[in-house]
Amino acid sequence: MRYMLLICDDGSKVESPDELNAKSGHVAWMVDLEERDISRGRYLMRPPAESKTVRVRDGKQLVSDGPFAETKEWVAGVELIECADLDEAIAVASTHEAAGRFPIEIRPYWED
């Protein structure tokens, strides 16, 4: 089954891809997923201040700065994984270094 891990952060220290790739724990986690052949893609998200939210109301496009919801935490990155079941996805998410500080949401995909 395919899952998306939404890796959250509070934005107190935004790390660039190079900074993350210099962290041994982060790199070890990514290597583990690759070696187990469960990674299906990963994306580091830019800060919420760089986002836009689009809504269409009465046929008019409304664009606002920032994320669609005001929250203390934001999605800092996503990891796409394929696991045997939800238990395995939970185990994978639990080993991410951010899991000790921030939530990681596990969201299953609709199967094709």
- 67 or 28, which is more confident: 28
In DSSP terms, 44 is beta-bridged to 77
82-101 pLDDT, tens digit each: 999 999 999 999 999 999 99
Q: Which CATH number fits domain 2-108: 3.30.70.1060, 3.20.19.10, 3.40.640.10, 3.40.50.1010?
A: 3.30.70.1060
Model pLDDT, residue 11: 80
Residue-wise pLDDT tens digits, 38-97: 999 999 998 888 888 899 999 999 998 877 666 778 888 999 999 999 999 999 999 999
List, for residues 1-26, the tens digit of each pLDDT value.
Answer: 999 999 998 888 888 889 989 999 99
Over residues 101-111, mean pLDDT: 91
SS (H, E, C) the chain: CEEEEEEEECCCCCCCHHHHHCCHHHHHHHHHHHHCCCEEEEEECCCHHHCEEEEEECCEEEEEECCCCCCCCEEEEEEEEECCCHHHHHHHHHCCHHHHCCCEEEEECCCC
Q: Where exactly are the structural domains of the chain?
A: 2-108
Dihedral sign, Cα of residue 112, residue 91, residue 106, residue 41 = negative
CB 82 within 8 A of CB 38: yes
